[in-house]
């Protein structure tokens, strides 16, 4: 019922998340789904994939405020999934990442307030926690912008929150499609470090946490799915245990392990059950939620080096 007769805008909607989210939305009584992106080819492919007349498309860039303002007219909910996200690319082209991931994010906030959008959710990453690369730093700034966006809405009902999660299995640009292509080419797998770990989730999990956040959000929160982790070498061995692996060394801006929650955020993080955590702006926000409990201050368990590992069977099923 959350989407009944609602108009939804998905920014960066032609990506892996956008496709999965749209498929779920099309099973609801949503009135209109608007896809906003700058890639006309992917929009063309999406038009061929979906024949539902509730889908509409905008070509545009989030750096262009006026185009956003036009696209936001009459919209109820916005999901912001657009970003420059390849770590090496952002390191080499830093100001391009700043213009899209930070300035573009502020444009979205301003347009949402101007058009009186009801709910806006931005998708973030575990790389925003204690970042060491530019991509993570821009996502941290984006989170701060969206949380503080709630300070500027005045008496209207626009609210902003974020969803933060790890790597999505099989998404475009991730390592699994790369290694599967290596399989086809009969070439060695490339791995930066034998001990590297990452948090992983499926596209369905990503959609689930965004839907959960849309239904529960009050504004100013960061929603986090409680994820299992995996060693990268175990992914490679699951794809093909006989394929030779070349260790090439950690790239600029790359972490050995990722963290879902910073040590500073721990004391204001609620465990809501259902494998969902919510970082509150401060502990006083707790009275607005029923059933949640604070997780304490043990950040150790929310590192991909120490969190619960995916079993061999779970990994095989995900891949």
Question: pLDDT tens for residues 200-215?
Answer: 999 999 999 999 999 9
Let me know if 127 is a catalytic residue.
Answer: yes
Give me the domain span that covers residue 218.
Answer: 7-230+258-318
Between the CA of residue 247 and those of 189, 190, 250, 257, 304, what are the distances in Å? 9, 6, 9, 16, 20
Residue 44 tokens read as 């063309």
Give residue 6's pLDDT: 97
Give residue 156's pLDDT: 76
Give residue 253's pLDDT: 84
Is residue 186 pLDDT above 90, yes or no?
Answer: no
In a domain, 252, yes or no: no
Q: What are the tens digits of pLDDT across the range 254-292?
A: 899 999 999 889 989 999 888 899 999 987 777 777 778
Is residue 298 pLDDT above 70, yes or no?
Answer: no
Which residue is associated with the tokens 């099989």? 170
Q: What are the tens digits of pLDDT across the range 15-28?
A: 999 999 999 999 99
Is residue 137 pLDDT above 90, yes or no?
Answer: yes
Mean of pLDDT over the chain: 92
Average pLDDT over residues 107-131: 97
Share of the chain above pLDDT 70, in %: 98
Q: Exposed/middle/buried for 184, CB within 10 Å: 0-12, 13-18, 19+?
A: exposed
In a domain, 235, yes or no: no
Give residue 138's pLDDT: 98
Give the number of domains in the chain. Answer: 1
In a domain, 285, yes or no: yes
In a domain, 208, yes or no: yes
Catalytic residue among 42, 85, 127, 255: 127
In a domain, 36, yes or no: yes
In a domain, 243, yes or no: no
Query: Model-level pTM?
Result: 0.93
Give residue 270's pLDDT: 92
Alpha-carbon gap, residue 36 to 44, rounded angstroms: 13
Q: Where does the pLDDT of residue 45 fall: very low under 50, low under 70, confident under 90, or very high at 90 and above?
A: very high
Alpha-carbon gap, residue 112 to 94, rounded angstroms: 26
Q: What are the tens digits of pLDDT across the range 237-252?
A: 999 998 999 999 988 8
In a domain, 245, yes or no: no
Give residue 246's pLDDT: 93
Is residue 299 pLDDT above 70, yes or no?
Answer: no
In a domain, 244, yes or no: no
Give residue 283's pLDDT: 78
CATH number of domain containing 86: 3.40.50.720
Q: What are the tens digits of pLDDT across the range 147-182?
A: 999 999 987 789 999 999 998 887 776 788 888 888
């Amino acid at each position: 019922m959350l989407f009944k007769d609602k108009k939804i805008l998905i920014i960066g909607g032609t990506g892996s998340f956008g496709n999965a989210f749209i498929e779920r939305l099309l099973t609801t009584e949503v009135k209109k789904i608007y896809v906003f992106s700058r890639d006309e080819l992917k929009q063309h492919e999406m038009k061929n994939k979906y024949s539902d007349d509730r889908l509409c498309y905008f070509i545009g860039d989030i750096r262009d405020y006026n185009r956003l303002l036009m696209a936001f007219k009459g919209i109820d909910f916005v999901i912001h999934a657009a970003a420059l996200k390849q770590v090496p690319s952002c390191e080499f082209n830093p100001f391009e990442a700043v213009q899209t991931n930070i300035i573009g994010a502020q444009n979205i906030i301003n347009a949402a307030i101007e058009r009186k959008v009801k709910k806006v959710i931005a998708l973030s990453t575990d790389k925003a926690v204690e970042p060491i690369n530019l991509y993570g730093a821009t996502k941290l700034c984006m989170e701060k912008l969206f949380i503080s966006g709630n300070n500027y809405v005045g008496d209207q009902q626009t609210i902003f929150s974020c969803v933060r999660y790890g790597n999505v299995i099989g998404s475009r640009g991730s390592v699994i499609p790369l290694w599967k292509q290596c399989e086809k080419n009969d070439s060695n797998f490339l791995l930066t470090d034998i001990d590297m770990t990452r948090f992983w989730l499926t596209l369905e999990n990503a959609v689930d946490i965004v839907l959960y956040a849309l239904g529960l959000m009050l504004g100013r929160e960061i929603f986090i799915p409680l994820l299992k982790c995996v060693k990268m070498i175990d992914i490679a061995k699951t794809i093909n245990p006989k394929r030779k692996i070349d260790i090439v060394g950690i790239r600029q801006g790359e972490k050995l392990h990722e963290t879902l929650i910073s040590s500073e955020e721990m004391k204001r993080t609620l465990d809501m059950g259902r494998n969902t955590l919510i970082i509150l702006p401060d502990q006083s926000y707790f009275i607005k939620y029923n059933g949640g409990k604070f997780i304490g201050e043990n950040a150790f368990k929310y590192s991909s080096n120490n969190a619960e590992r995916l079993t061999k069977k779970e990994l095989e099923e995900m891949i």
